[in-house]
Structure formats: C-alpha cells, structure tokens
C-alpha cells in the first residue's frame, strides 16, 4: 500500500496528461457497439494509473428509484462491486444519494469520516472492505443521472484536490460519451422503428425524384411489382418495367407532378402476377428551400376488392329498387284489377236492391253487400299495409276542418252502434282548432279503425270519442284523441302485441269477430307519420281506451270561432238527458254562444226546472230533449209540457239515436220544432237552435240539420247535365242506372277523345272522368279541356279511378281535375258531388211543358186567342225561375216575411193564368208560411218543383 501524498505531482505530470489524452481520444469517438469494451478499458487504465482497486459507474433507470451498474473494473485479487449487473433499489444508499445531489463530489478518506446517519453506507464500507472512496455525481443539465465510484480496498487514500479534479474531469468525459451514445441509440431505434413501419406497411409508399425516376420505395410497393427495393430505388421506370407499365406509371406521375399540391388519383395497373389492380394513389410534394419539388411522396392502397364490393352493392341496390318499383306497380295494378269488379258487385247489388224483391231476396242482398264491404275493407288494409312496407305511403298536406272530420268519422259508425243499443258520443273540447293542415283521409282512417273496433267489441254500454288540444307551439297543435269503450277489453298477454301486423286477440276472438289484425298496425304507422304515438289501456271484461296524439298545423282561419249567428244573450236552454256525458257535451257546445245552459237528468226534473225558472230571468226558451229517459220518453215529456201553461211556448228540439223515415213528421206532431241525431255535431246543434229561434239571416252559410235534407229533396228535381267518360261497359251501366234511380241521366263518352268533343260542344255541370282509357286517357283529356277553356269557363271534372296508389290524386290534380272519387264508387258521395255542382240555369229548360199542359185550359177560361195566351204564358215561365229561386232562398234563410210576399205572388200569377196544379199548391204553401211551419213550407215547395220537371 503506498503512502499518503503520492499523488501530489499529478498536476504537472506529463504522463498523466498523456494517458488521459490517449485514453479519451479513442473513447470519446467510440460507437455504440464498442462503447462497453472501450469504457471498461478506460476504467482499467484510469484505475491502474491512479492505483485504485475498483471503479464503477451507476446510472439511474427510467424509474429513478432504481439504478444499475453500467460498467465496473476491479484490480486483480479484488472482488467486483457486483457479481451480477442488475437493477438495484436506490434507497440502499440514502445518505450518499442525498449528498451527491447537492455536491460535486464526496471524498471519503476512511470509514470514520462517514457521518452517523450514513448507516447503510457504513455497512457497505464494512462488508466490502472499502478503505477510501471518491464518489462523483453524473449530471445532465443539473439533473442527477448516475454516479462514478473510485475505491481503494487495499489502502487508505487521502484524496487531494488535484486528483479529485482530474477524476471529476474524467467522469465528465464518461458522462459526455454516455449521453452521446444514448442519443445515437435513440436515433437508431427511431430510424429502425420508421423502417419497420415503412417496410411492413400494407400500403405502398414511394418517393419519386422526377416523372420517370424513383428515389426510394417501401417493401409493399416493390412487392407489388415482384421486385426488390433496391431494384427500384434510384432507377428509371423504363429500365425496370415493360414499356406498357412504364408508360402508364410515367403518365400517372406526370399528372401528379402537374398538380403541384396534394393530389389523389385512381390507377389501373398490372401487378407482378399480370392481374389488373386498382390503386388509389395519394401524392404530396416534398419541397426544397426554394419551394421546388424535390420529391413527390406517394402512397397507394389496392382498392380492387373494395370497388368490386361497392359495384355489387350498387347493383344489388338497383335491383332492389327495380323490384320495389315493380312491387308497387304490381300493387297499383292489383288494386285496379280488384276494385274494378268490386265496383260492379257493389253497383249491381245496389241497383238490385231498388227493384221489387221478396223479403228473403232483400236479406240475401243485404248479406252479399255486407260481405263485399268486408272484402273491400280487407283489400284496402292489405294495400295500405303493403304501401307502408314499401315506404310508399305519404301524407297529404291540405287544409281541412278538423271538427267535421272527427264528427264524420263518428257518424259513419253511429248507426252500427245504435243498432247494438250502444250509446256513442263525441266530445270535442274547447280549444281544439277548427281548421288545420294535414291528411284528413288518414286521420279519418285512424279514427275509423279505432271506433269500428270499439263498436265491434262492445255489446252494451257506451263509446266515447274525445278530442282535446294539449298545446300549441309555433303554429303546430298537439292534438290528443281518445276512443273509450265498455266492451270486452284486452287481456294482458295480448295488449303488447296488438299494434303488430296480423296480430289479434286470442283465437276465439278472431273466430267470433273476424278481421285481419292489420287495422291497429296501420293506425300505429299513420300516427307515427303524423308525429305522434298510440297506446292502449284496457281491463279485461270492462273496456278499453285507445289514446293517440298527432301534430297538425293550425291555419289562421282557426283563430276565430265561427257561429251561425251573432252572440246571443238572454236565451236559456234546458238540456234533458239521462246521460251525464251527453249533457256535458251539449252544454260545452253552447259555451261562448251567449246561451245559458241548464241541465236535467229526466222528464220530472226537466218539468221542475222549467217551473222553478218560469217567472225569472232564467225562463227556459228552448228544451233539447233526449228521446230515451228513465222516467218517460221525449214524446211523453213534450206532450206533458204542452199541457203546462208556462211551458207551452218553449221550443222543443228532439235528440235521438235512430233516424228513421218519418221521424221528423212524428216529432213535429208531438210539438218538436226540429230533431237532431246523436252523436250531436256542434254546428248542427247551433244551426238547429238558430233556426228554431228564427235567427237565420239572408245569405248566411247554411248548416241546417233538418232543413238540409229536405232542401236536398228539392234539388233532386233539378236536371244536372252530366258527362260520363268511361270505357268499361259494366261501370257505365251502373252509373247510368244509379242516375236513373234519381231521375237523372247523362251523356256518354267511351274515351278521352269523345269526351273532348262532347265538352267543346256542350256545357256540363259535371264530368265524371275515368283515368285509364284507350285512345286518350283521362289525364290527357282533362289537360286538353283546360287548354280549350282557358280562363273563360271551368267545367267541373271529377276523376273516377280504381287506382288507389299514392300519387294518383296528385296526378289527377296536376292534369287539371277538380276532385277525385275512387272505385268502387260510393254513390252517396257521387250524388253529393253532383248536387254541389248543379248550375242554377238548369231550371229554365224544363218549364216549357207548362205552356203545353195549360194553354188550352187558359184559352177556354179566358177566351183569349191561342197566340196571345202563349205569349202571356211565355212571359210567366220567363220570370218563374227567378221567383222559385227567391222562394228557395227565403226557405233556406227561414225568412217567413219574404216568403209570404213571394208565395203570394206565385199564388196570384198561377191563379190568373189558370195553372191550377201550381195554384193549389201555392195556396197550401201560403198557409204553411202564415203558420210559420217550415217543414210544411219545404214539403209544398218541393211538390211545386216536382210539378215543373
Ligand atoms: P282486427 O281487424 O282484427 O280488428 P286490429 O289490428 O284492428 O285488427 O285489432 C287487433 C286486435 O286487437 C283485435 O283482433 C282485438 O283482439 C284487439 N282489439 C282492438 N281493439 C279492441 C277493442 N276496442 N276492444 C277489445 N279488443 C280490441
């Protein structure tokens, strides 16, 4: 062991400097592969030079609580610091680590110098036999990353400043090299990573230095052409590929270079197998400092399979669409084909019914008609369902009267309910808008489905239909409908499936009640299309409530409530009905009219109410009496009231569920001014009250309940000019016969061209136009008629078609038709349409027979010459139509004063001219007018009109 102070000369030792110089010259330049060997060599040289026993270098791991020896050297006969170089925990040397963090070195000359707190370190000194130690921290940017230990085990060293400084410098050199090598390793591994990515990528990547030369390529690109990377890199395309491929590639490269920016292109090119593949190439220029393209970097994906799949998908989609079109066309044809014979069946059954038949035969026809109706219903359901499936069902967006739509739907089924003795009523709550925009036909369909189910499944009790408005936002009303019945109800197991197609209650229900199980599925879809939801609540054996809501746009017209008369105060109305709901409905319909409503549940309490209020401001003026009551019927109550002086003058209105022929007459005999059928419509109710009070003003729009059908009778005698355009002989026969049954006839055209001729020669009130016809179809014919007419006139043309597919209505309207009636024809609708289109001038034509029938009698009675008599009679028939028209208007307006004047005039003139038939009826009419008996007035006026036709 050498003595202390041996190193004092190091500072100036040339040998020392030489050693350091030689050692580090080589070491500092070392590469990563030789780093460990050179490092060890350097440690050895340093150790031997400084006469040390061990040198070791620790570096901290990524996780700084661990460290590991990077390199160690030990002198001969000295144990290495660590047998195995593995990660060690840092906290085994806590004092040392703390110290080196804050100092440039720690020099320990002997174990005694270690402070008391360096417990672990002292233990290391003892266990390893360390005599002296110099620890130099290794710091990168002031962060401790490791340390070097210089140790002596054989002798004590008193560390000198110069020696320490030299070892610190040497440590720095080690640190520097370590950092450089780490950086290089990192760089290499990054490069390696990129190469891995590049060469293992499925995408092809390459860089072009010009249009025909590659710079570099990845494996995938080289492999595509069956080549090695180096066969392509820095090569000219024409040296690598056949001329065709080289041409294709250079042409493609040219276009990409031309773009001079990001570009995308598809290229069909042969791969090494000779298969033509489709590549989707994306290119991006890589520029030098001047902005010139240095390389064009390209990537490519092979999209051959993807494109094939897309093409197949496209083809499949086209085929599916074609199949869908074919399907809807098939549906249209089928519907046409089925409806045409159905039209025949319906029409002829109806005609047959009006012939002389035995009771049994009548019953057979009734059954046949009922069966046909069911069949038509099923066909319609299946058709609708198919349309929904094919997504061919669209919603109309037209203005309609919501109240009428609801009430019409209820009225349609009211007779069936009445037949079963089931009470049916409608409650349209205040706040429900009158005029809305939407699809009235589809809304009716939903209501019809629900109400007809309610009627079908209810044997006793009642059915109520309620409409309410839940709110309005941005002009859209949320409307809530409920159809409530007291029928058989639905069991829990079935309640969740009834909105599914073809789903019915249990099998016994199906057998007993029939049906397709489609109605609710269709309703469900329709409700959804109207922006709402449908659901049901039901208790088996007690009844069901179907609720649905829809969103409908409210029109401006809806905002003002329209009544048939001005608001009226001081009129008190008593509603007599055993059913609370009915009383409530009637009473709610009177709200806002100014009328005061009183309610009584039966005849006795009605009489009590009348008497109690007799001499007060609540004196009852009108009593609306339900026919059926618990203590007496409506007629009995009316009879009783007529015997009570206070009640004698109360106007009576009868409410009844059944309308039979002659009902009006009987009601009249019992003293009722009018009668109303249940379920009551608000407007009918108000018009009826207005008429009863004699409130109708001239030129007011009509809503009469009673008068309306009688006025219709009057109109029946008019001769409308109708043109029927129909190629099918059977259909023609039916329509002609139906018209004949109402004393009407029509001209016939068998195709569009005949119709065109007919319309240009004669004025028609209405033209019923079939759509599908040979030679010229209905659409073309209508367009031509509209062209001829220009703005000068407008003939009403009504489409008659068996096509029930979506878009038919639009097609009709587009071609210029006014309305649409679908086959099988509902003749009631047809007659309504005719009636609505009869022009007034009709009446003149038929009056000439008056002259013929009466001239002889006139001449005989007056002694006038025949020519003079004829002249006078001609004058008469010239003014007669106007007079009759005025009388008609006065009846419509219940204007008895005017009526008296006009009828007196008719009586006078017909009497003067000895037209006895008219004269006698005019006398009776005048009597009725004086008695203000409107029913009678209408009856006699009708008779007069009948005479004139
Ligand atoms: P269907 O043509 O069979 O009436 P729907 O779809 O209209 O078809 O109704 C499906 C089933 O739902 C019916 O068969 C019946 O079992 C049940 N259902 C519908 N409405 C009612 C109701 N108001 N009361 C009891 N059951 C009903």
CA of 738 to the centre of ligand 1 (A): 36
- Residue 756 near residue 776, CB atoms below 8 Å: yes
Q: What number of CA atoms fall less than 13 Å from residue 102's CA on the CB side?
A: 4
Residues in CB range of 611: below 8 A, 6 or more apart: 644, 646, 647
pLDDT for the residue numbered 256: 93
* 613 vs 597: CA distance, rounded Å: 13
454 CA closest ligand 1 atom index: 23
CA of 517 to the centre of ligand 1 (A): 7
* 623 vs 572: CA distance, rounded Å: 9
* 224 vs 249: CA distance, rounded Å: 13
- Residue 375 near residue 342, CB atoms below 8 Å: yes
Map tokens 């492999």 to a residue. 223
Q: Are strands 476-485 and 543-554 parallel, antiparallel or unpaired?
A: antiparallel
Which two three-digit tokens encode residue 59? 């570096």
Return the closest-CA partner of residue 855 out of 870, 844, 841. Answer: 870
CA of 481 to the centre of ligand 1 (A): 17
Q: Is 175 helix (H, G, I), strand (E, B) or coil?
A: helix
* 2 vs 652: CA distance, rounded Å: 144
- Taking the CA atoms of residue 883, residue 887, residue 890 and residue 892 in that order, the dihedral angle to the nearest 10 degrees is -130
Q: What would the CATH number be for the domain defined by 722-837?
A: 3.40.50.2300
At the second CATH level, the architecture of 394-554 is 2-Layer Sandwich (3.30)
- 847-947 has the same fold as 572-706: no
Q: From the CA atom positions of the chain, what is the Rg in Å?
A: 54
Q: Which of 385, 491, 520 to mutate to test the pocket of ligand 1 (most atoms within 8 A of CB)?
A: 520
Q: Which of 422, 445, 504, 525 to mutate to test the pocket of ligand 1 (most atoms within 8 A of CB)?
A: 504
pTM, two decimals, is 0.48
Residues in CB range of 704: below 8 A, 6 or more apart: 687, 688, 691, 711, 892
- Shortest-distance Cα residue to atom 2 of ligand 1: 515
Q: At what angle do helices 634-643 and 603-612 cross, to 10 degrees?
A: 30
Strand runs labelled E in 515-650: 534-539, 543-554, 572-576, 596-600, 622-626
* 508 vs 498: CA distance, rounded Å: 15
Residue ranges of the chain whose pLDDT lies below 70: 1-13, 325, 328-329, 331-333, 335-336, 389-392, 501-516, 557-569, 658-665, 695-718, 802-807, 839-849, 946, 948-949
What phi and psi values does residue 432 have, to the nearest 5 degrees? -75, 125
CA of 518 to the centre of ligand 1 (A): 9
CA of 461 to the centre of ligand 1 (A): 18
Which residues are paired to 798 by β-bridges?
768, 819
Return the closest-CA partner of residue 805 out of 394, 518, 324. Answer: 394
Domain 10-186 in CATH: superfamily?
A: GAF domain (3.30.450.40)
Q: Are strands 276-287 and 263-270 parallel, antiparallel or unpaired?
A: antiparallel
- Shortest-distance Cα residue to atom 8 of ligand 1: 517
pLDDT for the residue numbered 566: 58
* 694 vs 707: CA distance, rounded Å: 13
CA of 682 to the centre of ligand 1 (A): 30
* 257 vs 272: CA distance, rounded Å: 25
- Shortest-distance Cα residue to atom 11 of ligand 1: 504
Burial of 319 (0-12, 13-18, 19+ CB in 10 A): exposed
Map tokens 């739509």 to a residue. 405
522 CA closest ligand 1 atom index: 6
- Shortest-distance Cα residue to atom 21 of ligand 1: 453
546 CA closest ligand 1 atom index: 23
Going across the sheet that includes 651-656, the strands are 596-600, 572-576, 622-626, 651-656, 672-677
CA of 402 to the centre of ligand 1 (A): 25
Map tokens 């339900």 to a residue. 626
- Residue 472 near residue 478, CB atoms below 8 Å: yes
Residues in CB range of 21: below 8 A, 6 or more apart: none
- Shortest-distance Cα residue to atom 14 of ligand 1: 504
CA of 388 to the centre of ligand 1 (A): 20
Which two three-digit tokens encode residue 781? 């014919």
Q: Is 538 helix (H, G, I), strand (E, B) or coil?
A: strand
pLDDT for the residue numbered 850: 75
CA of 424 to the centre of ligand 1 (A): 18
Going across the sheet that includes 106-108, the strands are 88-89, 66-74, 54-60, 143-152, 132-140, 106-108
Q: What number of CA atoms fall less than 13 Å from residue 581's CA on the CB side?
A: 17
How is domain 572-706 classified at the CATH fold level? Rossmann fold (3.40.50)
Q: Which of 505, 522, 536 to mutate to test the pocket of ligand 1 (most atoms within 8 A of CB)?
A: 505
pLDDT for the residue numbered 625: 92
CA of 148 to the centre of ligand 1 (A): 93
- Shortest-distance Cα residue to atom 7 of ligand 1: 519
Q: What would the CATH number be for the domain defined by 847-947?
A: 1.20.120.160
DSSP string across 499-523? TSTT--S-HHHHHHH---S-HHHHH
Query: Which residues lie with the beta carbon below 6 Å from any ligand 1 atom?
Result: 449, 453-454, 457, 485, 487-490, 498, 503-505, 509, 515-521, 544
For the chain, which residues make up each domain, given as ranges? 10-186, 201-382, 394-554, 572-706, 722-837, 847-947
- Shortest-distance Cα residue to atom 4 of ligand 1: 515
pLDDT for the residue numbered 507: 54
- Shortest-distance Cα residue to atom 23 of ligand 1: 454
CA of 445 to the centre of ligand 1 (A): 15
CA of 401 to the centre of ligand 1 (A): 28
Q: Which of 453, 534, 542 to mutate to test the pocket of ligand 1 (most atoms within 8 A of CB)?
A: 453
Q: Which of 498, 510, 524, 545 to mutate to test the pocket of ligand 1 (most atoms within 8 A of CB)?
A: 498
Domain 201-382 in CATH: superfamily?
A: PAS domain (3.30.450.20)
Residues in CB range of 164: below 8 A, 6 or more apart: 105, 107, 134
């Amino acid at each position: 062991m050498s003595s202390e102070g041996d190193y004092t000369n190091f500072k100036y030792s040339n040998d020392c400097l030489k050693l350091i110089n030689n050692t580090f010259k080589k070491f500092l330049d070392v590469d990563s592969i030789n780093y460990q060997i050179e490092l060890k060599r350097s440690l050895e040289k340093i150790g031997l030079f400084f006469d040390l026993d061990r040198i070791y270098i620790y570096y901290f791991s990524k996780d700084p609580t661990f460290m590991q020896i990077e390199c160690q050297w030990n002198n001969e006969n000295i144990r290495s610091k660590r047998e195995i170089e593995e990660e060690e925990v840092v906290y085994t040397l806590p004092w040392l680590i703390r110290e080196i963090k804050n100092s440039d070195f720690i020099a320990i000359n002997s174990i005694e110098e270690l402070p008391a707190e360096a417990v672990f370190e002292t233990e290391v000194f003892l266990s390893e036999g360390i005599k002296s130690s110099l620890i130099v921290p290794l710091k990168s940017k002031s962060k401790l990353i490791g340390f070097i230990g210089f140790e002596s085990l054989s002798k004590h060293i008193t560390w000198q400043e110069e020696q320490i400084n030299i070892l610190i410098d040497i440590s720095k050199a080690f640190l520097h090299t370590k950092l450089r090598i780490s950086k290089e390793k990192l760089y290499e591994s990054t490069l390696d990573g990129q190469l891995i990515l590049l060469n293992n990528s499925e995408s092809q990547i390459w860089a072009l230095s010009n249009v025909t030369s590659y710079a570099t390529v990845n494996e995938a690109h080289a492999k595509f052409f069956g080549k090695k990377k180096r066969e392509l890199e820095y090569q000219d395309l024409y040296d690598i590929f056949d001329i065709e491929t080289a041409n294709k590639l250079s042409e493609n490269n040219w276009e990409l270079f031309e773009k001079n920016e990001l570009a995308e292109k598809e290229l069909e090119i042969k791969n090494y197998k000779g298969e033509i593949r489709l590549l989707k190439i994306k290119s991006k220029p890589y520029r030098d400092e001047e902005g010139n393209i240095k390389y064009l970097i390209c990537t490519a994906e092979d999209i051959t399979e993807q494109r094939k799949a897309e093409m197949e998908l496209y083809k499949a989609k086209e085929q599916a669409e074609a199949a869908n079109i074919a399907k809807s066309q098939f549906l249209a044809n089928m519907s046409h084909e089925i409806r045409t014979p159905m039209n025949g069946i319906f029409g002829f059954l109806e005609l047959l019914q009006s012939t002389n038949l035995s009771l049994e035969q009548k019953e057979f026809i009734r059954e046949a008609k009922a069966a046909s109706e069911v069949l038509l219903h099923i066909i319609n359901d299946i058709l609708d369902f198919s349309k929904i499936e094919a997504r061919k069902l669209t919603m109309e967006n037209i203005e309609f009267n919501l109240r009428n739509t609801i009430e019409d739907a209820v009225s349609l089924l009211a007779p069936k309910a009445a037949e079963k003795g089931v009470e049916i009523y409608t409650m349209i709550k205040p706040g429900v808008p009158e005029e809305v925009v939407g699809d009235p036909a589809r809304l009716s369909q939903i209501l019809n489905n629900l109400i007809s189910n309610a009627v079908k499944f209810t044997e006793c009790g009642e059915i109520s239909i309620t409409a309410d408005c839940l709110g309005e936002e941005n002009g859209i009303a949320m409307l809530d409908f409920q159809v409530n019945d007291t029928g058989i109800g639905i069991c829990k197991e079935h309640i969740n499936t009834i909105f599914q197609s073809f789903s019915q209650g249990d099998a016994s229900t199906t057998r007993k009640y029939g049906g397709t199980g489609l109605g609710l599925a269709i309703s469900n879809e329709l409700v959804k299309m109207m922006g709402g939801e449908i659901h049901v609540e039901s208790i088996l054996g007690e009844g069901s409530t179907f609720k649905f809501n829809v969103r409908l746009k409210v029109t401006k017209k809806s905002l003002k409530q329209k009544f048939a008369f001005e608001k009226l105060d001081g009129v008190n109305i008593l509603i007599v009905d055993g059913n609370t709901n009915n009383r409530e409905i009637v009473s709610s319909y009177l709200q806002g009219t100014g009328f005061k409503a009183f309610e009584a549940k039966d005849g006795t309490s009605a009489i009590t109410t009348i008497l109690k209020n007799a001499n007060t401001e609540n004196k009852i003026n009108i009593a609306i009496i339900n026919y059926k009551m618990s203590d007496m019927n409506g007629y009995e109550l009316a009879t009783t009231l007529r015997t009570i002086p206070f009640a004698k003058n109360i106007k009576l209105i009868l409410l009844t569920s059944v309308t039979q022929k002659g009902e009006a007459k009987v009601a009249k005999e019992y003293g009722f001014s009018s009668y109303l059928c249940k379920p009551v419509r608000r407007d009918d109710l108000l018009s009826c009250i207005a008429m009863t009070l004699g409130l109708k003003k001239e030129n007011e729009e009509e809503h009469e309940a009673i008068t309306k059908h009688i006025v219709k009778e009057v109109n029946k005698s008019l001769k409308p000019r109708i043109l029927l355009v129909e190629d099918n002989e059977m259909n023609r026969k039916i329509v002609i016969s139906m018209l004949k049954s109402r004393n009407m006839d029509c001209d016939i055209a068998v195709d569009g061209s005949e119709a065109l001729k007919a319309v240009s020669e004669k004025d028609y009130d209405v033209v019923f136009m079939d759509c599908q016809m040979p030679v010229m179809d209905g659409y073309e014919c209508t367009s031509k008629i509209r062209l001829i007419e220009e703005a000068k006139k407008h003939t009403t043309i009504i489409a008659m078609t068996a096509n029930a597919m979506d878009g038919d209505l639009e097609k009709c309207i587009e071609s210029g038709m006014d309305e649409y009636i679908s086959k099988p024809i509902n003749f009631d609708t047809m007659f309504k349409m005719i009636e609505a289109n009869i022009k007034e001038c009709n009446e003149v034509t038929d009056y000439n027979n008056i002259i013929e029938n009466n001239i002889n009698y006139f001449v005989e009675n007056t002694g006038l010459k025949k020519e003079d008599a004829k002249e006078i009679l001609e004058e008469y028939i010239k003014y007669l139509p106007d007079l009759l028209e005025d009388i008609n208007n006065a009846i419509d307006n219940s204007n008895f004063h005017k009526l008296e004047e006009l009828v007196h005039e008719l009586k006078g003139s017909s009497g003067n001219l000895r037209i006895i038939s008219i004269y006698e009826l005019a006398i009776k009419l005048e009597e009725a007018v004086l008695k203000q008996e409107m029913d009678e007035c209408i009856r006699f006026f009708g008779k007069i009109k009948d005479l004139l036709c």
